[in-house]
Structure 1
């Protein structure tokens, strides 16, 4: 549902609609907003309706449609729409580089004066004028997925997103279960590799640090030395368990594969973790010439999904990975939007993370989260 025709219509009408919206800015803006009332249905879910008796309308503006991830998010928004009795429009640009197209959709949504908007911004700065229009029109904006980072204070009522620190911790917990015997008072050094895409992105840093900190906690802070990249280095003399953090100088496949190779080649390596799809793919690529991963060899775990990583898990090359829950991201975003439209105070929601491996990839709760 890429909506290219709809995008054209929006592009034709949005200027006039926004002009009308701006002209009303100093009049009774609140009359354009539906004063929602709530009632409890037989299942206990909140059903929201407008002052005129019709359902609330929520516009969801995603980052794109090219990944199965966004289809799963849309699935969650539909589930919430049915449960809460609201109308939801889900749209987004053709790809995650089409910033101008996303802003066009956002402006068109604002011009239609919905009850609330859910936004996963490709570029917060590009959306600032639009966000201000929504604030002026008293349209609540809810962030989802990566949200709207660094938006003006008060612009985003709440976010529905993954707690990336907790997700990284989950990866550490699952890996620890598999290597516990090897890291409990080892007689000689054992190494756990950690590959990250970069050291600047908040989500990537949180997943990486969450993994490292949790592994230190599980093994024992006096028994672990963190080496490698300066961003996390905490070397301890005499520690037998080494966490070896590798981050490429640039976000390039070849650079990341080289970093992964340098760690895979170390003779004391027992396990390795990639903190997103890019990092996991780098580990897989590096292993192609080394054959260090697999049953009875180095244990690898990852994060996210994608064809390469899913194939590695299916074949036993990777023991498993952590995925975000895009269905919950969509569901919780709409739920927050309904509550905000009804005048409720809302706060951020952690949409959780899931561990998957070859045995549960096809499960009903897991499969929608595994994009290719």
Structure 2
């Protein structure tokens, strides 16, 4: 081997040995961790994350609640997500949404229960994990929520009953189409109306109560069936937006306008038009923006350890064509 060849081989061998040793060292290092995907894509680094799980998404009421929640999120500099099942009868789907929200390890949860008992086991998990739960719109049959931001639905439905009684001359047959018999709102609006009639108006008979899941088409069919079975019915109470529109459609299709008094709940474009035209006597309006706002604000307060009232009454009002455009009522209505 000549001198030139030996001169080239020695450095090459050294380089090969160094590379081998480095490879061996690097192979003992642990693999890098995968990115943390436990937080939602919408959550910003360092911000409090609060999922807001509603009873639905299809009615304008929930869009107004979402607007209020987003207002609070901006004010308190927190990240939220807002979701709900397509139908207010999809209890299982809402429970799945709650399960998924818990998996993201949020700072707090705002929850409007479709079924006041079905969600309790998951809410207990939240409590065990020290995740504050705020109820909104519908309460839960449990002391787990630190507060509930909602309308006093018993009192509000009682006012609807008083208005109905006055409109039908304190006597006759009436019926109800209610969105469900499992949520706190469904139960309270039904019982608030029924109990007020029983307590104060002995000459008014409630001939039927049906549950349409808040679906307009189903509620229309139910109202038609009630009218067929009770041709002398003088009034209907529709306990939410979808229920009230269903009753309105049934009365219109059967050409009973002016013969059957309709009292509704919530607002929305169709109800407001019906009230302005006189086809619907009036309705109870909540403050959906306030409900959404307080659900997030109370959650933030709870995370920060601030005191929160056990119940946050967001208020209600009766409106009809005489005050629908008034300064007091107009801000509470949504289309």
Q: 1:162 aligns with which of 122, 133, 151?
A: 151
Bigger radius of gyration: 2
The whole-number CA distance in structure 2 between the counterparts of 1:289 and 1:199 is: 24
Provide the rounded CA distance (Å) in 1 between the counterparts of 2:251 and 2:93: 39
Change (3 A) 1:13 1:213: farther
DSSP-derived class of the 2:38 partner = helix
Matched, 1:115 2:97: no
Identify the range of structure 1 (326-335 vs 191-200) with the bigger mean alpha-carbon deviation: 191-200
| Aligned counterpart for 1:260 among listed residues 227, 241, 253 | 227
- Name the CA shift for 1:113/1:346 in 2 (closer, same or farther; >3 Å): farther
Q: 2:151 matched to 1:204? A: no
Is 2:82 the counterpart of 1:91? yes
Partner of 1:138, secondary structure, is coil
Counterpart residue number, 1:69: 61
Between the aligned partners of 1:198 and 1:70, the Cα distance in structure 2 is 14
Equivalences for residues 316-335 of structure 1 within 5 A:
316-335=278-297
Q: Could you list the per-position Cα deviations for residues 82-138 of structure 1 after superposition, in whole angstroms to 9, with x for gaps in the alignment?
A: 55x341413214624776775665456545544322122456777566534432331
Q: Distance in 2 between matches of 1:270 and 1:81?
A: 45
Q: 1:316 to 1:134 in 2, by over 3 A?
A: same
The answer to whether the Cα contact below 8 Å between 1:247 and 1:256 also exists between their aligned partners in 2 is no
- State whether residues 163 and 352 of structure 1, in contact with CA within 8 Å, keep that contact through their aligned partners in structure 2: yes
Q: Distance in 1 between matches of 2:145 and 2:173?
A: 39
CA apart distance, 1:166? 0.7
1:246 maps to 2:208 = yes
Find the residue that maps to 2:178 and give its secondary structure.
coil
Q: Which runs of 5+ in 2 are unaligned?
A: 1-33, 40-45
Decide whether the 8 Å contact of 1:119 with 1:142 is kept in 2.
Answer: yes
User: Which structure 1 residue ranges, 5 or more long, are not aligned?
Assistant: 1-11, 19-53, 184-189, 226-240
CA distance in 2, matches of 1:132, 1:310: 40
TM-aligned CA deviation for residue 142 of structure 1: 0.8
Q: What aligned pairs does 1:129-208 form with structure 2 within 5 A after superposition?
A: 130-147=122-139, 149-150=140-141, 153-176=142-165, 178=167, 182-183=169-170, 190-197=171-178, 200-201=181-182, 202-208=184-190
Structure-2 residue corresponding to 1:287 = 251
> What number of residue pairs does the alignment pair up?
288
What whole-Å deviation, never above 9, does each CA across 1:37-84 have from its counterpart, x for those lacking one?
A: xxxxxxxxxxxxxxxxx775543233443332222112222343455x
Change (3 A) 1:199 1:367: same
Question: In the TM superposition, what is the alpha-carbon distance from 1:247 to its structure 2 partner?
Answer: 2.1
Q: TM-score, normalised by structure 1?
A: 0.62
Give the alignment's Cα RMSD to 1 decimal: 3.8
3-state SS of the aligned residue for 2:280? coil
Residue 239 of structure 2 corresponds to 275
